[in-house]
Structures are given as C-alpha cells and as structure tokens.
C-alpha cells in the first residue's frame, strides 16, 4: 500500500483510507464482523480510519475505538463534529461553535477510547458561526494536544480560503485537510476546491469515490434498486431514475473492460490519480467487499484510460448536483428575494 503526505502535517497516510460509516447500525450490525473488517484493513496496509460522531449517534466511534485499541499507534484516526448526536432539539449541541466543539471533542475521545485524535474535521460549514470562532477553538485543541491536526469536510473553496485568512490574521492554525465528495460522476471540485487546496498546501481525503454504489455496477436500467441500498433509502440523492447516470456508468463499464479492470477498480484508481488527492475513503460493509476494494491498491491508469474517462464525464462536471453533499444557504429562496 502506497503512503502519501497528508498536506504539510508531516503525517503519512495510505492511498486508500477506511471510511467506517457503514460499520454499525447504519450498515453491518455484527460487532465482531466490524472488528474483523477494520483489522483486516490495517493488516493490508491501510493506516487511515475515518469516522464521525453523528454516525449511528456515536456507535460508530465506539466500534472503531474498540477495534483499534491495541493498535492505536498504527492508526491515523479521523473523526468529525458538526451534526447533532442523538435525537434531541437542543440547538447548542450541533454546529461549529466553540461551545459545541469543546464538548464534542471530549465526547468523541471518550467513545473512541483514546487520548488524541489525529485529524478532527468540521463536517459541514456553519453559516451561523463566525469562522474566526471555529478556527480559534480548533487551534486551542491542537495546542492542548487533544487533536494533532484539523480539517474540513464538504467546504467550498471560498470557505477554505477564508479559514486560512482567519488563521493567518489571528496567529491561529489553519485547516490542514479537506474531505470533499469526489467520483467520476461528481467532478465539480476539480474547478475550485482541488486547485485551492493545492495552493494552500492542504491534504484531500475524498468521500463517496464510488458514488454511493453507482460505480460498482449495482444500479442498472433493468434491475430494481437493491433493498437496503442507498438508492432505495435515499432516492432523491442517489437518483436511480437519472438516465444520464445509467448512460455514463454503461460507458465507463466499457472503458473498464477495455482496460482489463472492473468498474470499481477503475473508479478507485482514477480517484487517487488526481495530483491534489491524498487518499480515497473506501466504505466496505462486508469482509468480501473490503477484499475487492483493496484490489484497486495496485492499479495504475495510463493516459489513454484517463482520457477515455474524461470523454464520458467531462472534467469539472457533476452529473447530479445533489451529490455534492451541501447546498450553500445563499441559494435558499429567502436569501434570493428582497423582503
């Protein structure tokens, strides 16, 4: 497994990281199987494990923490804050305020059973919180030793720039990493986020490199949506009635076949080929899926294959804008109408 520098942190991470979201109540509910998946990934050379406090209301962090406890020093452990944890209506137990960050990090450390988090990430932007407040709070956590570095997830390019401006202006620590959605079907970040991150010396960890299962061949025109798949549980987001996606996947299947690859391996290898991308997060629900996904670790794509992919989905293009994972508040009707 190739390892790459995570921005300018000095931390080296594997070309593929383990996204743990579907281990637990949101996917594989067998704790022993989840433990085996995490440790099998570590045995295969994966050293980056990514979770979030909101996944299964903290259960996912507990599963990850238990699995890596005896191997903590091997793992670059990443988690996130922002979304509410648990079913409650408390508006102060969410977002990117100092008040919530200071509580959320201690809650995550307890669930993970560790003294430090390697990469602590703001899960989404928070337009109701002054960015200076968030940057200063995370800087204090770095200096206190509770986290080694901090990052963002699904932030637009202008927010990354603003965070660095804030840090420079205030003598604080800017974000070290961004975690955006990125796949052959969702390439919009090539226009702004990726070049901005490169300019700022930030690492990039991509989520949903297989576009929620679209780039495994799971969804076809002929077959109904598999029960329990994200296409069934989140039909608006994964838009299984979108003919453009079916057409693109069919063409990509032909590109993969010509290259002697599965569409899954083609899509993962393509993802980490971009020079701005540090690692792609794979999210296996079963041990067999992990074995298959890790098969992409040795795949390298030549220029002809990359050009063929570009001919199917043009650079900088999102086949479905909803796959970008966040809609700027400025697009809300209330923000676009004079009172």
* Catalytic residue positions, numbered: 55
Cα–Cα distance for residue pair 114/111, rounded to 1 Å:
8
Closest Cα to residue 281, out of 25, 5, 67, 17? 17
Q: ∠ CA 290-296-301 to the nearest 5 degrees?
A: 165
Q: Which residues neighbour 322 within 8 Å (Cβ) at sequence distance 6 or greater?
A: 236, 237, 239
- For residues 49 and 82, the answer to whether their CB atoms sit within 8 Å is no
51-72 burial string, b = 16+ CB within 10 Å, else e?
Answer: bbbbbbbbbbbbbbbbbbeeee
For the CA atoms of the chain, what is the radius of gyration?
A: 19
DSSP-assigned letters across all residues of 134-165: HHHHHHHHHHHTSEEEEEEES--HHHHHHHHH
Give the β-pairing of 3-5 and 12-14. Answer: antiparallel
> DSSP 3-state assignment of 317?
coil
> DSSP 3-state assignment of 81?
strand
- For residues 278 and 6, the answer to whether their CB atoms sit within 8 Å is yes
Which residue stretches of the chain are H helix?
31-43, 59-68, 98-112, 131-144, 157-170, 193-200, 230-233, 235-238, 243-258, 263-271, 287-294, 303-312
Tell me how far the alpha carbon of residue 196 is from its chain's centroid: 17
* Backbone φ, ψ for residue 247 (5° rounding): -65, -45
């Amino acid at each position: 497994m190739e390892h790459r520098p995570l921005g300018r942190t000095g931390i080296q991470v594997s070309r593929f990281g383990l996204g743990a979201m579907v281990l637990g109540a949101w996917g594989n509910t067998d704790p022993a199987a989840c433990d085996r998946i995490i440790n099998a990934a570590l045995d295969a050379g994966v050293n980056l494990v990514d979770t979030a406090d909101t996944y299964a209301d903290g259960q996912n962090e507990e599963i990850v923490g238990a699995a890596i406890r005896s191997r903590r020093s091997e793992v670059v452990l990443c988690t996130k804050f922002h979304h509410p944890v648990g079913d409650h209506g408390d508006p102060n137990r969410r977002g990117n305020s100092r008040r919530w960050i200071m509580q959320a990090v201690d809650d995550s450390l307890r669930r993970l059973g560790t003294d430090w988090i390697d990469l602590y990430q703001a899960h989404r932007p928070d337009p109701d919180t002054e960015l200076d407040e968030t940057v200063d709070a995370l800087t204090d956590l770095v200096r206190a030793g509770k986290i080694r570095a901090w990052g963002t997830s699904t932030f637009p390019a202008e927010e990354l720039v603003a965070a660095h401006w804030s840090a420079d202006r205030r003598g604080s620590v800017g974000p070290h990493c961004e975690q955006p959605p990125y796949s052959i079907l969702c390439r919009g970040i090539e226009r702004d986020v990726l070049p901005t991150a490169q300019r700022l010396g930030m690492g990039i960890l991509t989520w949903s490199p297989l576009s929620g299962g679209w780039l495994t061949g799971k969804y076809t025109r002929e077959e109904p949506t598999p029960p329990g798949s994200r296409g069934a549980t989140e039909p608006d987001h994964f838009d299984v009635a979108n003919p453009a996606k079916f057409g693109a996947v069919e063409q990509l299947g032909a590109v993969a076949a010509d290259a002697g690859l599965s569409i899954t391996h083609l899509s993962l290898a393509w993802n980490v080929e971009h020079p701005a991308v540090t690692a792609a997060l794979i999210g296996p629900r079963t041990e067999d899926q992990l074995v298959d996904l890790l098969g992409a670790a040795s795949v390298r794509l030549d220029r002809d294959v990359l050009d063929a992919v570009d001919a199917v989905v043009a650079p900088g293009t999102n086949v479905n804008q909803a796959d970008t994972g966040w809609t700027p508040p400025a697009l809300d009707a209330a923000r676009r109408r004079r009172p």
